[in-house]
A and B are shown apart, each in its own frame.
Chain A
Amino acid sequence: MTHARNQVARAVLEGPDIHRALTRIAHEILERTRGASDVVLLGIPTRGATLAHRLAERVAQFEGVKVPVGSIDITMYRDDLRLGPARPLGKTDVPAGGIDGKTVVLVDDVLFSGRTVRAALDALGDIGRPKAVQLATLVDRGHRELPIRADYVGKNLPTAKSEKVKVLLSEIDGRDAVELLKGAEK
Chain B
Amino acid sequence: MKHLISAGDLSRDEALLILDTAEELARVSERSIKKLPTLRGRTVVNLFFEDSTRTRISFEAAAKRLSADVINFSAKGSSVSKGESLKDTALTLEAMGADAVVIRHGASGAPHRLANWVRGSVLNAGDGTHEHPTQALLDAFSMRQRLGRIDGLKVAIVGDILHSRVARSNVLLLSTLGAEVTLVAPPTLLPVSVERWPCQVSYDLDAVLPKSDVVMMLRVQLERMNAAYFPSAREYSRRYGLDRDRFAKLHDDAIVMHPGPMNRGMEISAEVADSPRSTIVEQVGNGVTVRMAALYLLIGGENQ
Contact = CB atoms under 8 A, between A and B. Distances in A.
Contact of B36 (A77, A82, A91, A128): A77
B24 A86 contact: no
30 contacts: A73-B24, A76-B36, A76-B37, A76-B296, A77-B36, A77-B37, A81-B300, A81-B301, A82-B302, A82-B303, A83-B302, A84-B301, A85-B301, A85-B302, A86-B296, A86-B300, A86-B301, A87-B301, A88-B20, A89-B24, A89-B25, A91-B24, A92-B24, A122-B37, A126-B31, A126-B33, A126-B35, A126-B36, A127-B31, A128-B32
Interface residues of A, number: 19
Contacts of A128: 32
Contacts of A90: 24
Interface string B22-39: 001101000111011110
Contacts of A122: 37
Nearest to B1: A86
B237 interface: no
B297 interface: yes
Contacts of B25: 89
A88 B25 CA distance: 11
A60 to B, nearest CB: 26
Contacts of B38: 76-77, 81
A76 B297 CA distance: 11
Interface string A61-92: 00000000000010011000111111111111
Given A89-B25, A122-B37, 16 more contacts: A76-B37, A76-B66, A81-B38, A82-B301, A84-B302, A85-B301, A86-B298, A86-B300, A86-B301, A88-B17, A88-B20, A89-B20, A90-B24, A91-B24, A92-B27, A127-B33
